[in-house]
């Protein structure tokens, strides 16, 4: 088919199979920012609040996209998904896993101070919330929750954006790794179509919820007869496992979008 000869005769959706930096008004840019606060939100993760207010005008990104962030005081850079929606003052959040040892992890645990300067390059990546035309399945592993906090912030600000059911599945290793549960509960109060389920891999005292991997939470009725849009974000093994699970089902009328948090 010669696409250059096609004429659109009705409303139509065009899917571009390339990086979404080409979809925002401008490409990635490098900006100066400062660390406002490192908020420890679980035994293994922190939300880093960054003030990029020195940039004139709103930093334009799509929730789900990521930034390349310089580790303050070093020449090392790491990738992090925005855990917030774009805003006037460019007050940004990143949800970052604290590894036992790592350049960013060590900085956040041992040296970070409010006022530390850093640089970031953004927006990057092709993982972002597309127009909602089918029920949404959001699957987060660990700090993969970050991308969905951004998307859900955006939906909560404009509930008309998600007229269809949105279900978040959130899996972590241990109960002490769960974070932002109050924020997730608040989305459930703001968004009538939103529900969520959490699961931990290792049982511990006091946890009465399910134990296992995130696919153990899936039930046929979540998948709307195979017509959903699935968004997966987190460690590569979890993303691959969920993709494998979906591949085995009849999901011809579904799109699967994913972001793998490989070492960056």
Residues of the shown chain interacting with ligand FAD in the complex, contacts defined by CB under 6 A = 66, 78-81, 94-97, 99, 101-105, 125, 143, 146, 235, 259, 261-264
**Residue number with CB closer to ligand FAD (80 or 187):** 80
Smallest distance, ligand FAD to C-beta of residue 6, A: 34
Q: Which is nearer to ligand FAD, 69 or 228 (CB)?
A: 69
d(Cα 239, Cα 49) in Å, to the nearest integer?
Answer: 27
Query: In the block, which residue shows the tokens 């006091």?
Result: 206
Shortest spacing between CB 36 and ligand FAD, in angstroms: 17
Nearest distance, CB of residue 259 and ligand FAD, angstroms: 6
Taking the mean position of all CA atoms in its chain, how far away is CA 263?
16
In this structure, the number of other CB atoms found within 10 A of the CB of residue 88 comes to 8
User: How many CB atoms sit inside 10 A of residue 188's CB?
Assistant: 15
Measured CA to CA, the distance from residue 17 to residue 23 in angstroms comes to: 11
Q: Which is nearer to ligand FAD, 123 or 135 (CB)?
A: 123
Which residue lies nearer to ligand FAD by CB, 140 or 228? 140
The 66-70 sheet, strands edge to edge = 77-81, 66-70, 117-124, 29-42, 45-51, 91-97
* Those residues with Cβ within 8 angstroms of residue 206's Cβ, 6 or more apart along the chain or in another chain: 175
Q: Closest approach of Cβ 262 to ligand FAD, in Å?
A: 5
Minimal distance in Å, beta carbon 110 to ligand FAD? Answer: 12
Alpha carbon distance 252, 239 (integer Å) = 19
Q: Which is nearer to ligand FAD, 170 or 223 (CB)?
A: 170
Nearer to ligand FAD by C-beta: 99 or 251? 99
The nearer residue to ligand FAD, 102 or 210, going by C-beta atoms, is 102
Which has the closest alpha carbon to 99: 91, 84, 109?
109
Q: Which residue is nearest to ligand FAD (CB)?
A: 102
Residue 74: CB minimum distance to ligand FAD, A? 9
Angle between helices 181-190 and 145-157 (to 10 degrees): 30
Question: What helix, strand, coil percent values describe the chain, rounded to 5?
Answer: 25, 30, 40
CB of 48 to ligand FAD, least distance (A): 10
């Amino acid at each position: 088919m010669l696409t250059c000869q096609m004429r659109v005769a009705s409303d139509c959706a065009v899917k571009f199979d390339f990086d979404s930096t080409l979809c925002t008004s401008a490409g990635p840019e490098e900006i100066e920012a400062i660390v406002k606060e490192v908020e420890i939100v679980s035994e293994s993760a922190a939300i880093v609040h960054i003030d990029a207010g020195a940039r004139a005008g709103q930093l334009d990104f799509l929730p789900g996209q990521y930034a390349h962030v310089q580790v303050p005081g070093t020449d090392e850079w790491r990738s992090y998904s925005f855990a917030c929606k774009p805003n006037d003052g460019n007050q940004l959040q990143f949800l970052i896993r604290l590894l036992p040892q790592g350049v960013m992890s060590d900085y956040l645990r041992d040296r970070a101070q409010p006022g530390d300067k850093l640089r970031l390059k953004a927006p990057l990546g092709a993982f972002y919330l597309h127009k909602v035309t089918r029920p949404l399945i959001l699957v987060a592993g660990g700090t993969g929750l970050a991308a969905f906090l951004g998307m859900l912030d955006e939906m909560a600000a404009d509930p008309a954006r998600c007229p269809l059911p949105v279900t978040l599945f959130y899996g972590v290793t241990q109960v002490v790794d769960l974070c932002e549960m109050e924020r997730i509960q608040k989305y459930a109060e703001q968004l009538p179509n939103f529900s969520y389920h959490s699961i931990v891999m290792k049982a511990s005292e006091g946890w009465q919820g399910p134990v296992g991997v995130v696919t153990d939470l899936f039930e046929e009725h979540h998948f709307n007869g195979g017509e959903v849009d699935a968004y997966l974000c987190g460690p590569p093994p979890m993303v691959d496992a969920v993709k494998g699970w979906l591949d085995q089902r009849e999901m011809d009328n579904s799109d699967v979008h994913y972001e793998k948090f490989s070492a960056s």
